[in-house]
Amino acid sequence: MAYFYIKLIHVVFVIIFLGNITIGLFWKMFAEKTKDPDKIAFAFKGIIKADRYFTVPGVIVITIFGIAGAMHAGIPILGTGWILWSIILFSISGVVFMVKLVPLQKQLAALASDKEKFNWDEYHKLSKQWDLWGYIALLTPWLATILMVIKPNL
């Protein structure tokens, strides 16, 4: 019975995590369509806060309860391909998030917040980088989720 509660908590936090990182891209694109730096800055500040409240705690809970679930079920974590590759994909997402996205988000929010320094060319340059790294950080945990659900023989 404990395994099912562990798995439930793991899955609920995966849903929250994936929802948050997916909707962040939406809010960025939605704000950019307005061509209003104030709305763009507001969107990025919201994305940064949502990452603090949902993404980071989600990563922690997903990891702890994923490992606990595998251990409780007696599934070898590194010896089970779909778990191993899910961990690798999840880790890639985390590294990209911390190394690339967090600094870019702060730069974009600061740039959009400063009316005197705001420059569309600079913004678009940073925004394209954020899009590239954002899609990598988004697609890798989605692929991990697919692996966890289908459990292919890897």
The predicted-structure confidence for 82-96, as pLDDT tens digits, reads as follows 999 999 999 999 999
What are the tens digits of pLDDT across the range 31-69? 999 999 999 999 999 999 999 999 999 999 999 999 999
Q: Can you give the pLDDT at residue 29? A: 95
pLDDT surpasses 90 at 1: no
Q: Give me the residue label for tokens 């320094």.
A: 117
What are the tens digits of pLDDT across the range 91-133? 999 999 999 999 999 999 999 999 898 999 999 999 999 999 9
Q: In angstroms, rounded to a whole number, what is the distance separating the alpha carbons of residues 18 and 21?
A: 5
Label residue 72 by pLDDT band (50, 70, 90). very high
SS (H, E, C) the chain: CHHHHHHHHHHHHHHHHHHHHHHHHHHHHHHHHCCCHHHHHHHHHHHHHHHHHHHHHHHHHHHHHHHHHHHHHCCCCCCCHHHHHHHHHHHHHHHHHHHHHHHHHHHHHHHHHCCCCCCHHHHHHHHHHHHHHHHHHHHHHHHHHHHHHHCCCC
pLDDT surpasses 90 at 153: yes
Residues 130 and 104: beta-carbon distance below 8 Å: yes
**Exposure string over 122-139, b if 16+ CB within 10 A, otherwise e:** ebeebbebbeebbebbbe
User: Measuring CA to CA, which residue among 19, 101, 100 is closest to residue 62?
Assistant: 19
Q: Can you give the pLDDT at residue 3? A: 95
Q: Name the pTM for this structure.
A: 0.91
